């Protein structure tokens, strides 16, 4: 049996000095690969069912409301539990928590295709998948933070960020390919297979890790933030379709707002808070929260419209649509791991700000598309966006994780994942609503000249317009073309908004990011006050 090459003494010494065992240090890249695979298990569930909804609707006789909740149950539960899951992992074991999450995810994924008989059971299985995902995703980043020494941590987090960034889209791609050859069962079995592979590999490769200070879980804070996030996310999801006339939406908004206020008040006085509010005094931490939220807001809004453009405007099949996204993801996967070196050369500011400008440029390119864009139009614009994403997400995630005490890695991980989820949900809700409203307004002059039974369908959505005009001959073709034009105009308007958001964020980062900072590898401080000392000293120097 060949002997492993000796690690460089300085690197191993750094790892040992930070409490990382030699065995863990030598296996760190295998551990990272395992954690990224487990992360993919949770990420693919986010978008894996969209393409399977028509078949599920027939199989389970789903109402339109049930179809919505088959998709949204996962996202709602997942986003709501991230903080509690991360705190439990820090206190009782990160590996143990991740494995429990994987087991829950696998069981729920297998229940849906083999045992579920009703729409309610299907929705419940998706909610349990959300519980499993919440236990897995923040734990993977927490483990990355404690497995790698500070000098290598930025590169490891860059790889994690790249996988997290493309994970949701890859889930949609793989599901589209499977549904081309198999039925809806494959959409659930995909996640189950990922989880079944991840479980034994995690058990063998990943070391256990806990908060060495044994910080107690803030159960009251956990309950408050769970209710707050559930109410906020539910409101974001429902307002675009139901407005503020729906009583349940209003109740959710009020409950979310009140719970958030109570959570913040409790965190300010709790002895062991779930998130130390003093961290927001650090520009590194607070600016990373802003950049992650707004970047995901813009990106997910773009993806929402693009799927419809592929299928309803460009005429792609579901399979072709899924595969077409893959090349545009490559810049994030290839460039992401290189970003820490760029930061060392030019600094955080001159990495993040150009990244945001590049994102804005990609969205501006989308505003120039013709009514039927070519694939090259899409590829150039979306690759530009993902390149900018790589330049923003890696430094932002590193700044967030290096701002929290290392023993409370779950705190930073939960904040990172929550900002991603809230940004993505807001992007789909706000920009999706803008596209829908602008489309309805744009097509109204044409729809008003049609019979009532056709007019309403044409105004409701582009999909409805394409379907109802398919058998109307030349007149139908003209109406369909008008509907496509109305939709593209609406989409370009939303992309302009995305470009403005990215541009404004770039200006904020240009003004607020600390000057001259070139390192993302500073060892996290041992407590919140110490974490803020370098930041406050830097402010005084400036």
Residue 64: other Cβ atoms inside 10 A: 8
Q: What is the dihedral of CA 520, 97, 21, 155, to 10 degrees?
A: -30
Domain boundary residue, one of 199, 217, 235: 217
**411 vs 273: CA distance, rounded Å:** 10
**267 vs 223: CA distance, rounded Å:** 12
**243 vs 433: CA distance, rounded Å:** 11
Q: Give the DSSP per-residue string, 80-99.
A: HHHHHHHHHHHHH-HHHHHH
Q: In this structure, are 45 and 180 located in the same domain?
A: yes
How confident is the chain (542 residues) per 10-residue block, as mean pLDDT? Answer: 48 81 90 93 76 77 74 85 90 93 95 90 92 92 90 88 78 80 87 93 92 85 91 82 81 93 92 85 84 81 77 82 84 86 87 94 93 93 91 86 78 83 79 81 84 78 80 79 89 89 91 68 43 41 35
Q: Give the DSSP per-residue string, 31-72.
A: HHHHHHHHHHHHHGGGTTTGGGHHHHHHHHT--HHHHHHHHH
Q: In this structure, are 332 and 413 located in the same domain?
A: yes
Number of domains in the chain: 3
190 within some domain: yes
Residue 428 belongs to a domain with what CATH number?
1.20.1250.20
Name the token pair of 284. 């590194």
Domain boundary residue, one of 217, 246, 262: 217
65 within some domain: yes
**526 vs 397: CA distance, rounded Å:** 19
Q: In this structure, are 210 and 320 located in the same domain?
A: no
| Cα dist from 127 to 74, 80, 266, 410, whole Å | 5, 11, 28, 22
Q: What is the pTM of this model?
A: 0.81
Q: In this structure, are 152 and 269 located in the same domain?
A: no
Q: In this structure, are 430 and 302 located in the same domain?
A: yes
Name the token pair of 4. 């492993």
pLDDT score, position 247:
86
Q: In this structure, are 208 and 256 located in the same domain?
A: no
Closest by Cα among 462, 461, 502, 463 to 365 = 502
Q: In this structure, are 168 and 198 located in the same domain?
A: yes
pLDDT score, position 65:
67
| Residue 470, C-beta contacts closer than 8 angstroms, at least 6 positions apart | 476, 480
455 within some domain: no
Q: In this structure, are 141 and 152 located in the same domain?
A: yes
**197 vs 295: CA distance, rounded Å:** 32
78 within some domain: yes
478 within some domain: no
- 436: enclosing H helix or E strand: helix 432-447
**471 vs 186: CA distance, rounded Å:** 33
Dihedral of alpha carbons 306, 309, 312, 314, sign: negative
Token match 């309803």: residue? 312
480 within some domain: no
Q: In this structure, are 225 and 147 located in the same domain?
A: no
**410 vs 140: CA distance, rounded Å:** 9
Closest by Cα among 164, 184, 171 to 48 = 171
Q: In this structure, are 56 and 200 located in the same domain?
A: yes
pLDDT score, position 396:
86
360 within some domain: yes
Q: Which residue range forms the structural domain that includes residue 178?
A: 18-217
Q: In this structure, are 107 and 245 located in the same domain?
A: no
CB 359 within 8 A of CB 392: yes
Residue 512: other Cβ atoms inside 10 A: 12
Domain boundary residue, one of 217, 241, 257: 217
| Residue 97, C-beta contacts closer than 8 angstroms, at least 6 positions apart | 85, 88, 89, 135, 139
CB 370 within 8 A of CB 326: no
48 within some domain: yes
Q: In this structure, are 298 and 379 located in the same domain?
A: yes
């Amino acid at each position: 049996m060949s002997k492993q090459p000796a690690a460089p003494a300085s690197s191993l010494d750094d790892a040992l000095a930070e409490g990382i065992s030699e065995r863990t240090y030598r296996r760190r890249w295998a551990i990272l690969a395992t954690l990224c695979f487990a992360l993919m298990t949770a990420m693919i569930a986010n978008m894996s069912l969209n393409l399977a909804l028509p078949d599920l609707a027939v199989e389970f006789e789903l109402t339109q409301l049930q179809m919505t909740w088959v998709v949204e149950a996962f996202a709602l539960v997942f986003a709501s539990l991230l903080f509690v899951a991360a705190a439990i992992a820090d206190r009782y074991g990160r590996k143990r928590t991740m494995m429990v999450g994987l087991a829950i995810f696998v069981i729920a994924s297998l229940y849906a295709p083999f045992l579920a008989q009703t729409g309610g059971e299907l929705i419940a299985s998706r909610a349990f998948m959300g519980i499993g995902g919440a236990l897995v995703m923040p734990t993977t980043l927490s483990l990355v933070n404690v497995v790698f020494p500070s000098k290598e941590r930025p590169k490891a987090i860059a790889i994690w960020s790249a996988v997290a960034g493309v994970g949701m889209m890859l889930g949609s791609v793989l599901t589209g390919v499977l549904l081309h050859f198999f039925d809806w069962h494959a959409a659930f079995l995909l996640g189950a297979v990922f989880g079944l592979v991840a479980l034994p590999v995690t058990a063998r490769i990943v070391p256990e890790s806990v908060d060495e200070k044994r910080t107690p879980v803030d159960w009251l804070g956990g309950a408050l933030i769970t209710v707050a996030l559930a109410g906020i996310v539910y409101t974001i999801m429902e307002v675009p379709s139901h407005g503020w006339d729906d009583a349940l939406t209003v109740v959710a908004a009020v409950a979310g707002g009140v719970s958030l206020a109570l959570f913040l008040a409790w965190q300010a006085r709790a002895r062991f808070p779930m998130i130390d509010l003093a961290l927001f005094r650090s520009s590194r931490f607070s600016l990373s929260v802003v950049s992650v939220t707004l970047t995901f807001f813009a990106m997910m809004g773009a993806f929402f419209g693009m799927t419809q453009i592929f299928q309803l405007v460009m005429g792609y099949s579901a399979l072709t649509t899924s595969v077409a996204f893959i090349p545009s993801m490559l810049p994030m996967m290839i460039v992401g791991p290189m970003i820490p070196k760029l930061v060392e050369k030019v600094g955080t500011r001159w990495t993040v700000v150009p990244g945001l400008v590049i994102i804005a440029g990609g969205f501006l390119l989308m505003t120039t598309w013709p009514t039927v864009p070519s694939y090259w139009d899409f590829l150039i614009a979306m690759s530009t966006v993902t390149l900018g994403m790589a330049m923003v997400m890696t430094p932002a995630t590193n700044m967030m994780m290096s701002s929290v005490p290392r023993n409370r890695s779950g705190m930073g991980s939960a904040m990172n994942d929550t900002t991603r989820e809230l940004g993505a949900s807001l992007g789909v809700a706000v920009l999706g609503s803008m596209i829908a409203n602008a489309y309805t307004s744009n097509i109204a002059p044409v729809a008003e000249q049609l019979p009532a039974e056709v007019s309403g369908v044409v105004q409701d959505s582009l999909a409805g317009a394409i379907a109802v005009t398919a058998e109307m001959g030349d007149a139908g073709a003209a109406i369909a073309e008008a509907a496509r034009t109305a939709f593209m105009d609406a989409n370009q308007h939303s992309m302009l908004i995305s470009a403005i958001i990215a541009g404004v964020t770039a200006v904020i980062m240009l003004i607020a990011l600390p000057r001259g900072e070139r390192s993302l590898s500073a060892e996290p401080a041992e407590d919140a006050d110490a974490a803020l000392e370098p930041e406050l000293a830097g402010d005084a120097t400036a």
